[in-house]
Amino acid sequence: MKITRTIFIVAALLIGHAWLIGLVGFHYRHVIENEPLKDPHRVLRAEGTNLFLEDGTVIALNPFYREPVTDQLKQANFEVDVERDTDGSCCVLARRRGGWICGTQWAQPIKIPLIVDTVYRNRRQMIGLGSYVVSKGQQDGAASGSQPIRSETNRASSAAGSRR
């Protein structure tokens, strides 16, 4: 009995010290495939800074984001949430995959799965701020058509003309 107790104490001390230095982990992750978008709208196409939605809405985005909108839309499977403000502007949010960071609590070489950590795979992220140019087939009073619908062809020809 004395030997069993001594072995148990030594094993507990070894596991405790291994946990303190990061060799043993007691947490494990449970990944949940989730849908973070509350009211997804399908994007038919993006021309320049304009998004053309399936319901006929056209949103002119402010062009100050580093990553191109088309790349962000591809990652989001061309679905976005649009949150409208009282002043007529809107916030466009898309689904993004959550990234994993090295050095998390799940990165130990020895795992004793005792404590579950629930992790959601997707998250909502803002991809742009803008205003409504056309809202469901009609001109929107908030945008009042102030931002033109620029296509890639028009933008390329105007950029070429400005280099002269």
Q: pLDDT digits over 65-76, tens only?
A: 666 778 888 888
Secondary structure of residue 3 in the 3-state scheme:
helix
CA distances from 43 to 5, 9, 110, 130, 147 (A): 66, 62, 45, 15, 19
Give the span between the Cα atoms of 90 and 143, in whole angstroms.
11
Band of pLDDT at residue 42, cut at 50, 70 and 90: very high
Task: For the chain, give the longest Cα–Cα distance.
Answer: 93
pTM, two decimal places: 0.60
pLDDT > 60? residue 154: no
What ranges do the domains of the chain cover? 26-147
Q: Are residues 76 and 35 in contact, defined by beta-carbon separation less than 8 angstroms? A: no
The CA-CA-CA angle for residues 36, 40, 42, to 5°, reads 135
What confidence tens digit (pLDDT) does each residue in 95-124 have? 888 766 555 666 778 888 888 888 888 888
Rounded Cα distance between 140 and 142, Å, is 5
* Residue showing tokens 């033109």: 148
Q: Tokens 């982990």 identify what position?
A: 25
Q: Which of 27-31, 124-128, 135-139, 151-155 has the lowest mean pLDDT?
A: 151-155
Span between the terminal Cα atoms of the chain, in Å: 93
Q: CA angle at residue 152 from 65 to 64, to 5 degrees?
A: 15
Residue pair 65/46 in contact (Cβ under 8 Å)? The answer is no
